[in-house]
A = this chain, B = another copy of it.
Amino acid sequence: MTAIDHVVHVALGERAYDILIGPGLIAEAGKILAERFPGRRYGIVTDDNVARTQLPLLVAGLEAAGLDYAVITVPAGEGTKSYQMLESVVEGLLAARLERGDLVIALGGGVIGDLAGFAASITRRGMDFIQMPTSLLAQVDSSVGGKTGINSPHGKNLVGAFHQPLLVLADLSALDTLDRRQFAAGYAEVAKYGLIDDPEFFDWLDAHLDEIFSGGPARGEAVARCCAHKARVVIEDEKEQGVRALLNLGHTFGHALEKDTGYSDRLLHGEGVSIGMVLAHRYSTRQGLAPGQDAGRVEAHLKRAGLPTTLGDIAGTLGSTDTLMAAIAQDKKVQRGALTFILTRGIGQAFIEKNVDPATIRSFLDEMRGQ
C-alpha cells in the first residue's frame, strides 16, 4: 500500500525541495527520513485530532528506523494559530533540547503547518522543517511555498515568515480519516487552481468530482496537479511580490468572513474561500469583466462539492457591512488606501487588480447580504 505515486520538485535554488505524494507515506516516513537526513533528531508538532488518527503511524515508523523524537501536541482548530501557541511550540522545541541542525515535523492540516513552520523559523533563529500535510487543504496548498504564520486580532496571517520546508510528504491515506466537511473545504482550494488560469483543469474537476470525493485515483492526480501548479507559481514569485497574489483568489472576501465569524466552526477557511471565489466572480460580472454564466458554473460546481457559496449560507448573523469593510481594509493585500482584489475575466482568467474602489465593494456587499 505504500507508493510514491508523484514527485513534484520545487526548484527554489538553495531552498529547493521535493513534494512526495502517495498512500502510506506517514507510516514510511521513518525510513525516508533516516535515508535523507541521517543523524537528526525530530520535534513533531501536531494537533489533538491528528495525534489520534495519524501520529501513531508516524511514531511507529520513526521508532522502527531508530530515530529520536519529541512530540508537541496543541489543540485542533484555527484558534491555535495564536501568539500563545506559538510560544508554547517554540518553548516545547527548546525544552526537547533540539539543536539547530535538528528538524521540526509539521504533522497536520494547514493550522499545524503554518504554526509549526513559523515556530521552526524563529527557534534558534531558524530550524529546518518538514511538512506532513494531513488535510486536503494542506496537501494542495498550505504545505507548499513556505508561507508560515499565525493570526493577529487585526487579521489572519498578519504575523509570520517565509520559511521553505526541506521536504513535503503528502500521504493520501491520511485523507481517509478527514471528515467530509473538512475535505470539501480543502476542495475549494483545488477548484481555485482551475479558476485562476487552468480552465481545462476546471473541466477535468467537473468530470471527476465524485471520484475525487470517493477516493479513486483521480484524488492523487488532483493533489499532484495542484502541487505542481502551486510550485510553479512559488518558483516564479517566492515572496509574493507579483503573480503569487493570484493564489489569493477569493481570499480577501474569505478572510473578512472568517474574521467576522471569529475563525470558528461557523466557517472553515476553505468555506470562506468558496464564498469568496463566487463573490469575486459575481463582482467581476457586475463590473462587466466576466460572463455571468461563468459565475453560475463556479457556483454550481462548488455547491455540488457541498460547499457554501453565498453569504446566506453562513450560519448565524453576520456583522455589518462596515465591519466587513474594515476587515477587508486591514487585509495585508492593501496598498496605500486602494484595495487590491483578484478579479476575473471568466473561468481560468483571474488577474490582480490594484485599484479597486472601496465604494463599489461596499455596495456590492450590501446587495449580496440581501440574497
Show the binding face of A for B, using Cβ within 8 Å. 83, 87, 90-91, 94-95, 97, 99-101, 118, 121-126, 147, 149, 152-155, 157-162, 239, 330, 332, 334-336
**Listed A/B pairs (7) with beta-carbon separation below 8 Å:** A83-B87, A91-B152, A94-B155, A99-B334, A122-B159, A124-B159, A125-B162
With A152-B91, A334-B99 in contact, do A160 and B83 touch (Cβ < 8 Å)? no
Does the CB pair A90–B125 fall under 8 Å?
no
Residues in B with CB closer than 8 Å to A334 are 99
Does the CB pair A332–B159 fall under 8 Å?
no
Question: Closest CB-CB distance, A327 to chain B, in whole Å?
Answer: 13
Could you tell me the distance between the alpha carbons of A267 and B147 in the complex, rounded to whole angstroms? 39
Could you tell me the distance between the alpha carbons of A334 and B124 in the complex, rounded to whole angstroms? 11
Could you tell me the distance between the alpha carbons of A10 and B78 in the complex, rounded to whole angstroms? 41
Could you tell me the distance between the alpha carbons of A155 and B94 in the complex, rounded to whole angstroms? 9
Does the CB pair A126–B335 fall under 8 Å?
no
Does the CB pair A149–B161 fall under 8 Å?
no
Could you tell me the distance between the alpha carbons of A154 and B92 in the complex, rounded to whole angstroms? 10
Question: Closest CB-CB distance, A237 to chain B, in whole Å?
Answer: 14
Does the CB pair B154–A91 fall under 8 Å?
yes
Residues in B with CB closer than 8 Å to A87 are 83
Could you tell me the distance between the alpha carbons of A125 and B162 in the complex, rounded to whole angstroms? 7
Does the CB pair B121–A161 fall under 8 Å?
yes
Could you tell me the distance between the alpha carbons of A97 and B101 in the complex, rounded to whole angstroms? 37
Question: Closest CB-CB distance, A200 to chain B, in whole Å?
Answer: 32
Does the CB pair B161–A100 fall under 8 Å?
no
Question: Closest CB-CB distance, A74 to chain B, in whole Å?
Answer: 16
Does the CB pair B122–A161 fall under 8 Å?
yes
Residues in B with CB closer than 8 Å to A147 are 125
Could you tell me the distance between the alpha carbons of A160 and B127 in the complex, rounded to whole angstroms? 11
Could you tell me the distance between the alpha carbons of A147 and B122 in the complex, rounded to whole angstroms? 11
Question: Closest CB-CB distance, A102 to chain B, in whole Å?
Answer: 10
Does the CB pair A149–B125 fall under 8 Å?
yes
Does the CB pair B121–A90 fall under 8 Å?
no
Residues in B with CB closer than 8 Å to A152 are 90-91, 94
Q: Which of A147, A149, A158 counts the most chain B CB atoms within 10 A?
A: A158
**Least CB separation from A149: chain B residue:** B125
Question: Closest CB-CB distance, A26 to chain B, in whole Å?
Answer: 27
Residues in B with CB closer than 8 Å to A90 are 152, 159
**Least CB separation from A87: chain B residue:** B83
Does the CB pair B125–A160 fall under 8 Å?
yes
Residues in B with CB closer than 8 Å to A101 are 335
Residues in B with CB closer than 8 Å to A91 are 152-154
Question: Closest CB-CB distance, A356 to chain B, in whole Å?
Answer: 16
Does the CB pair A95–B162 fall under 8 Å?
no
Residues in B with CB closer than 8 Å to A97 are 330
Given contacts A91-B152, A122-B161, 13 further A-B pairs with CB under 8 A are: A83-B83, A83-B87, A90-B152, A90-B159, A91-B153, A91-B154, A99-B334, A100-B335, A118-B122, A124-B158, A125-B147, A125-B160, A125-B161
